[in-house]
Amino acid sequence: MAITDAPKIITSRLGYDDSHTINRYVATGGYQALRKALTMSPAAVAEQVKAASLLGRGGAGFPAGVKWGLAPADVWPRYLVVNGDESEPGTYKDRILMERDPHQLIEGVLLACYAIGAGQAFLYVRGEMALAQERIAEALNDAYQAGYVGKGILGTDYSIDVVLTWGAGAYIVGEETALIESLEGNRGMPRLKPPFFPAAKGLYMQPTIVNNVETLSNLPWIVANGGEAFAALGAEGSKGTRMFAVSGHVRNPGVFEVEYGVTTFRDLIYAPVYAGGIRGDHQLKAFIPGGGSAPWFFEEHLDLPLEKVTVDKAGSMLGSGAIVVMDDTTDAVKACLRLVRFYARESCGKCTPCREGTTWLERILQRILDGHGRPSDLELLLDVSDNISPGLTWPPKQTTICPLGPSATAPIASALGRFRDEFEARITVAEQARTSVPVELKAPSHA
């Protein structure tokens, strides 16, 4: 076990009831990093973030400092867009940060804009998160009043408006180019990268940095304590601390900030200070290591550290830090269908394979679940998946613009790969029903 005593970097205030207020924030060291940064050059601030090796927490895990450097030199204006659209199945951490520590996020935004020279920032919050919108609105109003945001921040020549904006229910808008479309008032349909890498051609075709809420929430600590201090925590390829939500069949589901790259899945799922093990006297069947799009892991993966490169190599991803634990009572077909249905419902509809393919997959699975499966369905599931994500490899190849379509194939490849017998059992029952008198559907047996 590697349960470390790393400091809480982003969840340090969550113990306070009034953690969301400006008073509490300022009383606990808030806006000191901003004061410090304003005595530094923008480049020096960016340098700290680079030194911290802060990986993006939105899913792709791209180093924030490197991303900032991708904006073409001397092209102005630039924008910062904060991705607060958290919607990946299993993911629950950005909402906590937005509802309970909005000033930390705002300070992070101010630091980022200062460093990259953004002319305006847009904080895009998921539409369904009414409380987060309220808390951020209140925090922004207070921060404007107090002179932390807006014109001539803290008496310097640094001026920026941070605009709270929000969505209206569409998972795909979490994808950064779709987010930009949405922010332009359009349907949230992704743009093709290349050529539309936001850092070069983003909002209004200007250089735009899109960062996740958690990513930005790290900045006050990094600037206050130095990038080196951050990089001293964690493993080689995964620095600092990170929030993980452990949900599903565990005794103590919750969101935990742990040292990145060191703690293992076993620690997180089984340690009493974290999720406390599988509920009742059940056994682990499978777990999703990084949100609904991630291929499933099993018993044999428990001792992998929560480290980006290691997990990628093992054939899945840490994605958005969402671990969903399934015990032996879980119906693999049902779980698989539920995830596939998510992607089918959330497809933006732009790419033919995703629009048509994910729905087709959902309908085949529903048919199997409803007892109308056919023996050829399993190959069909795999072949349709293959036409969305050729080769069903990891990382996925895609016939689509964005990874949403291929995401629907991960649960199929995982569930069919490991629990094919459950699918076959349902189909056998269906076959018998077709050829004889109706039989009551039995729950599948679990290995």
Ligand X SMILES: Cc1cc2nc3c(=O)[nH]c(=O)nc-3n(C[C@H](O)[C@H](O)[C@H](O)COP(=O)(O)O)c2cc1C
**Closer residue to other proteins, CB minimum distance, 43 or 437:** 43
Give me the half-sphere count of Cα atoms (radius 13 Å) on the Cβ side of residue 235: 18
211 binds, among ligand X, ligand SF4, other proteins, none (CB under 5 to 8 A by kind): ligand X
253 binds, among ligand SF4, ligand X, other proteins, none (CB under 5 to 8 A by kind): other proteins
Part of the chain binding ligand SF4 (CB under 6 A), chosen from 49-57, 248-256, 266-274, 344-352: 344-352
CA torsion angle for 61, 44, 7, 213 (degrees, to 10)?
-40
Asked if 411 is part of the footprint of ligand SF4 (rule: CB under 6 A), the reply reads no
- The first and second tokens of residue 413, run together, are 């490849």
Rounded to the nearest whole angstrom, what is the least distance from the CB of residue 2 to other proteins in the complex?
22
Q: CB 27: neighbour CB atoms within 10 A?
A: 12
161 binds, among ligand X, ligand SF4, other proteins, none (CB under 5 to 8 A by kind): other proteins
Chain residues 158-187 in contact with ligand SF4, contact rule CB under 6 A: 172
Asked if 240 and 54 touch (Cβ cutoff 8 Å), the reply is yes
Chain residues 250-309 in contact with ligand SF4, contact rule CB under 6 A: none
Burial class (CB in 10 A: 0-12, 13-18, 19+), 41: exposed
**Closer residue to ligand X, CB minimum distance, 86 or 331:** 86
Rounded to the nearest whole angstrom, what is the least distance from the CB of residue 308 to ligand X in the complex?
12
**Closer residue to ligand SF4, CB minimum distance, 96 or 189:** 189
368 binds, among ligand X, ligand SF4, other proteins, none (CB under 5 to 8 A by kind): none
**Closer residue to other proteins, CB minimum distance, 51 or 137:** 137
Rounded to the nearest whole angstrom, what is the least distance from the CB of residue 433 to other proteins in the complex?
16
Residue 385 — φ and ψ, nearest 5°?
A: -60, -40
- Chain Cα centroid distance, residue 137: 23
Measuring CA to CA, how many Å separate 232 from each of 214, 222, 228, 286, 300?
A: 19, 11, 6, 33, 29
Q: Which residues are paired to 325 by β-bridges? A: 248, 287
Asked if 246 is part of the footprint of ligand SF4 (rule: CB under 6 A), the reply reads no
Asked if 153 and 160 touch (Cβ cutoff 8 Å), the reply is yes
**Closer residue to ligand X, CB minimum distance, 350 or 426:** 350
Rounded to the nearest whole angstrom, what is the least distance from the CB of residue 407 to ligand X in the complex?
7
Picking from 360, 373, 370, the residue whose alpha carbon sits closest to that of residue 409 is: 360
Binds ligand SF4 (CB under 6 A): choice among 182, 400, 409, 414: 400
Binds ligand SF4 (CB under 6 A): choice among 402, 415, 416, 430: 402
Q: Which residues are paired to 166 by β-bridges? A: 125
Asked if 361 is part of the footprint of ligand SF4 (rule: CB under 6 A), the reply reads no
Task: Tell me the C-alpha distance between 308 and 314, whole Å.
Answer: 10
Nearest 5°: the CA angle 134, 135, 136 is 95
Q: DSSP character for 63?
A: B
**Closer residue to other proteins, CB minimum distance, 141 or 428:** 141
**Closer residue to ligand SF4, CB minimum distance, 36 or 193:** 193
- The first and second tokens of residue 177, run together, are 């180019």
Residue with tokens 């479309």: 181
Could you tell me how many residues of this chain bind ligand SF4 (CB under 6 A)? 15
62 binds, among ligand X, ligand SF4, other proteins, none (CB under 5 to 8 A by kind): ligand X
Which residues of this chain interact with ligand X, rule CB under 6 A? 56-60, 62, 64, 67, 83, 85-88, 172, 174-176, 210-212, 215, 402-404
Picking from 94, 121, 130, 72, the residue whose alpha carbon sits closest to that of residue 11 is: 94
Rounded to the nearest whole angstrom, what is the least distance from the CB of residue 44 to ligand X in the complex?
21
CA torsion angle for 218, 115, 70, 183 (degrees, to 10)?
80
Part of the chain binding ligand SF4 (CB under 6 A), chosen from 86-94, 250-258, 326-334, 397-405: 397-405
E strands, 67-214, in order = 78-84, 118-125, 161-166, 208-212
63 binds, among other proteins, ligand SF4, ligand X, none (CB under 5 to 8 A by kind): none
* Contact set with ligand SF4 (CB under 6 A): 172, 189-190, 347-351, 354-355, 400-402, 404-405
